[in-house]
Structure formats: structure tokens, C-alpha cells
């Protein structure tokens, strides 16, 4: 007997799924209607949970969600029992799940109280700077996965990230050199993770956790390396101000706050909503001005020409695609340019790249 019927709860919704359970070589395969695989549980991760006498109720160790599987057929239950020799009957899982439920309830109550008091936007503003770097990074990774799913149209089969093919490597080296110089001047608390992606819009994007995407369209539109550096400096401003984290906290709202408090947001619907919001909405005028001021100052600190950020803004202001208002598409472009030029110093600056390196960077998406 290598298969039988079971009842499966995914731990996220309360729906009960009638499933077919197949005993594989190393674990259980749980399939829904039409044979769609819902879960795979290795035998050594299965734990039994307390249940009425006539039911074998199983859970999965080290799993954050309250997923469970119930087997009613005695003979089939005995088969599973025999294979999952490591089934832990000490109740560790159940204690952990109980703690998790209590954690969620406390988090929910705290969040509701805080939200009632401050409102979500103000709360996000206050909370974002308090998010530990490790959680910010994890959050960034979760959002990054979604954002890639939306942005990576996978045309021509080339990698979403430019700079990996042999012909693109000199471009990647030039890009890294430029980012390193800015990063050293910035002195951020956590390392940046920046790369060029195969998108034709003249745009760039900062995500939580210090991730900066520069679209290839921006590099194509730039006339100097310093113009690209200026935009990266502006993005580093968003990273330093935790604007990505704030946007995600606002978009995801309460469910995100729960996830944050429990350190688990991967796979939650809130991440999907948050990623879409990050891509579709602009930052506030205040956040943009602050990132401009930071970017101009960072360019100056790094010995570069802050006016390059202003000239790049002038080139791309209002030119981005609708629905992709990530950062630079703002009606107040003229005012922004004037503000940046005001703080740009008149002293001599050092270009970020020489002519050869700049030519290489122009070809970073060539492969
Ligand atoms: Zn911006």
C-alpha cells in the first residue's frame, strides 16, 4: 500500500483539502484534485500531533505555518508510521505551534493598537528605522523575488541581470568600481547590493535591504558615467533613509507588521501586494527631495560632480513609462534640478570612470 486518502490543511487558509497521499522513497507527496502537488514532506521532518484515537494527525517540523495532514484509514496510517521512523512523539512541534499562535495574537493586538494610535503611514515612518538590518535584508529578498517576477520579462532568454556573460564582464567591473566609490563615501551600516537589469526604461529602483537596480535604459540614456553615478547616489539616499522599507510597510499594512514581528514574510500575500506597490507608486515629494539632497551631498563627498544628477534628472524627468513611476518621474523636475545645482560645489571633480571604462559600462547588457 503506497498511497491513500488524507485531509490536508495548508496552514494559511482554513480550507480543508481532500488529498491523495503517496508514499515516496524519501517522503510523502500530497496531491490535490487533478494531481496538483500541494506539498512534499520528507519522512525525517514529520511529527505527529495529538488527535482523536481514530485519526493520525501529522505536522512538519521547522515549518512556520500550521500545516497539517490527517489520515483516517488505519492501515494506511500504519504504513506512514512505519516509514517515518523518526516521527517525534515528544510534542515539540505542538508546543512550538502553540507559541507561534500566541506570538501572532500578541503581534496582532500590538499592531492594532499602534495603528489605531498612529495610522499606518505614520507608523511605517516610525517603524522603518527600527527594523534590524538582518530583517530588512530578508524583507528585501522577499520583495526582490516578487519584483523580479514582475520585471523580468525573460525576452531573448538572456539573464535578467546584466554583467554575467563574458562580453559583459568589463562593464560589470566598471559598474562595481563606480558603486564602490559611492558606497565608501556613504558609509552605510549594511552593504549595498546593486546591479544592472535588462529593462529598457530610463529608471532605477531601491528596495529594502540595500538593493539597487539600475535599468539598462538609464545607462543608454546617460552621456557620462557621472550621470549614472548621480542616479545611484540618489538611490543610495533612498536606502539610507529606509524609504523602500517604509513603502513596503505602508503597502503591506497590518499583515506585514505581523510578519515583521515574527520575522517571516516569505510566501505571504502581503509581499506580493508590497512589490506591486513599490513598482507602481512614487515616493512622496519629500522623500524624493531628501534623496536628491543626499545624492548630491554623496556625489560631493565622493569627489564627483553633483550636477551630473541634475542633468540626468533633466533628461529623464517625466519620460518614464506610466505605471513605472519608481523614482524619477516627478512633475517638479525643474525645482529638483535647481535644488541639486545649488549644493553642487564649484571645485574640480574626478570623473567616476575613464573613457574606456565608460565604454565598457555602456556595453554591460551586450551579451
Ligand atoms: Zn527617488
Q: HEC states along 292-334?
A: HHHHHHHHHHCCCCCHHHHHHHHHHCCCCCCCCCCCCCCCCHH
Query: CB under 8 Å to 115, separation ≥6 — which residues?
Result: 123, 254, 257
Cα 282 to ligand 1 centroid, rounded to whole Å: 8
Q: Is 235 an active-site residue? A: yes
- 3-class DSSP assignment, residue 156: helix
For the ranges 92-96, 224-228, 245-249, the maximum mean pLDDT occurs at 224-228
Confidence of residue 250 (pLDDT cuts 50, 70, 90): confident
Q: What nine digits make up the cell of 335?
A: 525645482
Q: Residue 74 has what pLDDT? A: 86
Q: Determine whether domain 3-90 maps to CATH 2.30.29.30.
A: yes
Average pLDDT over residues 224-234: 95
Cα 71 to ligand 1 centroid, rounded to whole Å: 54
Confidence of residue 343 (pLDDT cuts 50, 70, 90): confident
Cα 264 to ligand 1 centroid, rounded to whole Å: 28
Cα 345 to ligand 1 centroid, rounded to whole Å: 22
Q: pLDDT of 103-140, one tens digit each?
A: 666 666 666 666 666 666 777 777 777 777 877 887 78
- 3-class DSSP assignment, residue 42: strand
Cα 238 to ligand 1 centroid, rounded to whole Å: 7
In the chain, where the domains are located: 3-90, 125-362
pTM score, whole prediction: 0.65
Q: Residue 263 has what pLDDT? A: 52
Confidence of residue 51 (pLDDT cuts 50, 70, 90): confident
Locate all alpha helices (DSSP H) within 128-224, ordered by sequence. Answer: 133-151, 169-186, 216-221
Cα 239 to ligand 1 centroid, rounded to whole Å: 10
Q: pLDDT of 254-284, one tens digit each?
A: 556 656 555 555 445 566 666 776 676 667 7
Per the CB < 8 A criterion, the answer to whether 178 and 200 are in contact is no
Q: Residue 65 has what pLDDT? A: 65
Q: pLDDT of 58-109, one tens digit each?
A: 888 766 667 889 998 888 888 888 787 656 556 665 666 666 666 666 666 6
Catalytic residue among 45, 79, 201, 235: 235
Amino acid at each position: 500500500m503506497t498511497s491513500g486518502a488524507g485531509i490536508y490543511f495548508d496552514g494559511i487558509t482554513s480550507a480543508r483539502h481532500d488529498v491523495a497521499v503517496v508514499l515516496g522513497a524519501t517522503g510523502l507527496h500530497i496531491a490535490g484534485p487533478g494531481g496538483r502537488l500541494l506539498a512534499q514532506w520528507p519522512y525525517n521532518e514529520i511529527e505527529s500531533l495529538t488527535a482523536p484515537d481514530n485519526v493520525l494527525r501529522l505536522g512538519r517540523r521547522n515549518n512556520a505555518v500550521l500545516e497539517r495532514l490527517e489520515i483516517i484509514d488505519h492501515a494506511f496510517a500504519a504504513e506512514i508510521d512505519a516509514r517515518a521512523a523518526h516521527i517525534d512523539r515528544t510534542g515539540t512541534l505542538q508546543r512550538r505551534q502553540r507559541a507561534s499562535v500566541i506570538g501572532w495574537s500578541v503581534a496582532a493586538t500590538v499592531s492594532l493598537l499602534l495603528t489605531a494610535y498612529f495610522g499606518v503611514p505614520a507608523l511605517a515612518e516610525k517603524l522603518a528605522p527600527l527594523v534590524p538590518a538582518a530583517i530588512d535584508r530578508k524583507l528585501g529578498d522577499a520583495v526582490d523575488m516578487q519584483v523580479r517576477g514582475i520585471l523580468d520579462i525573460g525576452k531573448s532568454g538572456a539573464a535578467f541581470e546584466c554583467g554575467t556573460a563574458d562580453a559583459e564582464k568589463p562593464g560589470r567591473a566598471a559598474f562595481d568600481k563606480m558603486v564602490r566609490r559611492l558606497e565608501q563615501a556613504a558609509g552605510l551600516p549594511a552593504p549595498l547590493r546593486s546591479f544592472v537589469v535588462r529593462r529598457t526604461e530610463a529608471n532605477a529602483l531601491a528596495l529594502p535591504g540595500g538593493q539597487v537596480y539600475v535599468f539598462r535604459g538609464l545607462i543608454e540614456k546617460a552621456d557620462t558615467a557621472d550621470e549614472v553615478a548621480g542616479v545611484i547616489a540618489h538611490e543610495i539616499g533612498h536606502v539610507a533613509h529606509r524609504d523602500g522599507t517604509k513603502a513596503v510597510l505602508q503597502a503591506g499594512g497590518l499583515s506585514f507588521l505581523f510578519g515583521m514581528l515574527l520575522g517571516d514574510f516569505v510566501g505571504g500575500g502581503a509581499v506580493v501586494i508590497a512589490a506591486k506597490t513599490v513598482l507602481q507608486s512614487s515616493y512622496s515629494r519629500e522623500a524624493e527631495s531628501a534623496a536628491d539632497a543626499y545624492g548630491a551631498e554623496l556625489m560631493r563627498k565622493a569627489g564627483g560632480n553633483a550636477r551630473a544628477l541634475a542633468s540626468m534628472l533633466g533628461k529623464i524627468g517625466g519620460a518614464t513609462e506610466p505605471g513605472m513611476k519608481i523614482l524619477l518621474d516627478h512633475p517638479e523636475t525643474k525645482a529638483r534640478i535647481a535644488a541639486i545645482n545649488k549644493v553642487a560645489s564649484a571645485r574640480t571633480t574626478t570623473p567616476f570612470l575613464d573613457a574606456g571604462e565608460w565604454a565598457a559600462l555602456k556595453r554591460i547588457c551586450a551579451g
